[in-house]
Every structure is written in C-alpha cells, then in structure tokens.
Structure 1
Amino acid sequence: MAQITLDGSPTTTTGELPEKGKTAPDFTLTKTDLSDISLQDYRGSRLILNIFPSVGTGVCSASVRRFNKEASKHENINVICISKDLPFALSAFCGAEGIKNVETLSDFKNNEFGINYGVRIESGIFQGLHARAIIVLDEEGRVVYNQLVPEIGQEPDYTEALKHVQ
C-alpha cells in the first residue's frame, strides 16, 4: 500500500507500482472502439503508461496533451493514457483536443489494471479511480522507470520519464 494525497488529504493505493527491472503484469484494457487490448499487443515497442484518475480534470488532461506533444518527437514509443473513464469520454476528449499521438485506454470493464499495478485509490472522494503514475516499459515489457505522483493534483515528472525512452 502506498501513501498519496489529494489536496493534502492522505489516502492510500491498493499496493505498489511494478518494480523496476521486473516484467510488468499483463493487462486487458478497453480501446475507444470498445475492443480489448493487452500488454502483449505492444511487445517490441517502448511504452509510457500515463495513468490518472480522469481526463475530465485539469491536471489529467494536461498530462495527455503534454505526452501527445512529446510522443510526436520519438520513434518506437507508444504512450498509453489509462484511466477509469468510459471509452466514449476518452474519444470525445481526444477528438476535441486533436490528440493523435497517444492512445487512450479504459479500465472501466475489467477493473483489474488498478489493482495489479497498485494504483487503485482505496479511500476518499477519488476512491476506486487510479492514482496518478507514470510507468515506462522497454520493448520486452520490463519496467525501466516508475513514478507514483505523491499529490494527485500535481503533474508527473515528464522529463525524467522521457529520459527512459531515448
């Protein structure tokens, strides 16, 4: 269990982020067309997992915009933005914002990602949503970087995450 805060109020997550050097747990998430996709589908590509509570909040939407901009500068990298938002909301946001360089995936259907990755918020007004975190995976799915943002209302360390995909 990890300790984080939301506007200074303490809360916890279900566990810990996957460890650096270890293979990330597989997942099944839902794409905006409602089809399923798993971690295995990304083998051979470096991944940035941008995990957050909801694209409907300012900091979450800012992270999607920033990673969309950064993804256009790098080859052989996929940025996957993961939340519990419905696929329809994710699709509408990306369409309205012109987001084309990241992929948005939802954990609304299977509800396992947040638990397996240690990011499910256990209490408070965001209970059941995902904490803000960044996980970078190499081409074989091993964790090369992770950050659980200690205050949900803060942006992740983009610079440090991007260092691990170059």
Structure 2
Amino acid sequence: MATVTGKGQPMNTLGNLPEVGSNAPDFQLTKLDFSDVTLEDFKGKKIIMNIFPSIDTSTCATSVRKFNEEAAALEDTVVLCISKDLPHAQRRFCGAEGINNVIPLSDFRDGNFGRAYEVTFTDTAIRGLLSRSVVVIDEKGKVIYTEQVADTSNEPDYKAALEALQNG
C-alpha cells in the first residue's frame, strides 16, 4: 500500500507502482469509441501514462493539457491519459480543449488497470478512483520511470518524465 495525501488528508492505494526495470503490466482500457485497447496495441512505441483521478478537476485537466503540448514534439511515443472517467466525459473535455495529441483511456469497466498498476485509492471519499501518477515505458515494454505524486492536488514532474523518455 502506498500513501499519498489529498488536501492534507492521508489516502491509500492498493500498492506501489511497478518497479523501474520491470516489465510493464498488461491492461485493458476503453477508448473514446468504447472499444478496448491493451498494452500490446502500443508495442514498439514509447509510452507515457498520465494517470489521474478525474478529467473534471483542475489539476487533472492541467496535466492533460501539458502532456498534450509536449506530445506534439515526441517521436514514436504515445501519451495515454488514464482515469475512471467515462469516455463521454473524456471526449467532451478533449473536444472543448482542442486536445488531440494524447489518447484518453478509461478504466471504468472493471478497474483492471488500477489493480495492475496498484494506483486505485482504497479509502476516503474518492476510493475507487486512480492516484495521480506517471509511468514511462520504453519501446520494449520495460518501465523506465515512475512517479506517484505525493499530494494529489499537485501536478506531476513533467520534466523528469520527459527526460526519462529521452534518456531511456
């Protein structure tokens, strides 16, 4: 179990992010058109996973905007923005914001992503949602960087994630 805070209140997750150097756990997530996608669908690409509680909060929205800006310049890389939001909400937000360089994905169906990456909150009012985290995976499927943001109201360290991608 990992503990982070939200507005000063301790919040626990299922466990810890995958270790750097380990194989990235597989997952099944839902795309905007409600079709399924797995880790295998991104084989051969570098992956930045921007994981967050909900697109409808200011910090989560900021992280999607920031990674959308950065993703435009990345080669052979996909940025996955992962939450429990319904694809309808993700589509609405991305459409209104003109966001088209990231891939919004939802873990709403069965929570297998949150369990595999151990980022599901287990307590407090937002139990069941995903903890703000970043996981970077190289083109061979190895985890090369992780960050679970210590306070969920803070943004992730974009620079560290992008540097890991470039240096990985």
Q: Would you call these one fold, judging by a TM-score over 0.5?
A: yes
Provide the residue aligned with 2:28 in structure 1. 28
Unaligned runs of 5+ in 2: none
One-letter identity of the residue aligned with 1:35: S
One-letter identity of the residue aligned with 1:120: T
Alignment of structure 1 residues 17-56 onto 2, 5 Å: 17-56=17-56
What is the CA–CA distance in structure 2 between the aligned matches of 1:125 and 1:19, rounded to whole Å? 28
* 1:46 and 1:139 in contact (8 A); partners too: yes
Provide the residue aligned with 1:65 in structure 2. 65
Provide the residue aligned with 2:96 in structure 1. 96
Alignment of structure 1 residues 1-166 onto 2, 5 Å: 1-166=1-166
* 1:54 and 1:83 in contact (8 A); partners too: yes
SS in 2 for 1:164: helix
Q: Cα distance, 1:115 vs. partner?
A: 1.1
What is the CA–CA distance in structure 2 between the aligned matches of 1:105 and 1:141, rounded to whole Å? 18
TM-score, L = length of structure 1:
0.99
TM-score, L = length of structure 2:
0.98
- The one-character-per-residue Cα deviations of 1:81-122 (angstroms, maximum 9, x if unpaired) are 000000000011000000000000000012111111010001
One-letter identity of the residue aligned with 1:77: T
Q: After alignment, is 126-135 or 107-116 more displaced?
A: 107-116
Q: Cα distance, 1:141 vs. partner?
A: 1.1
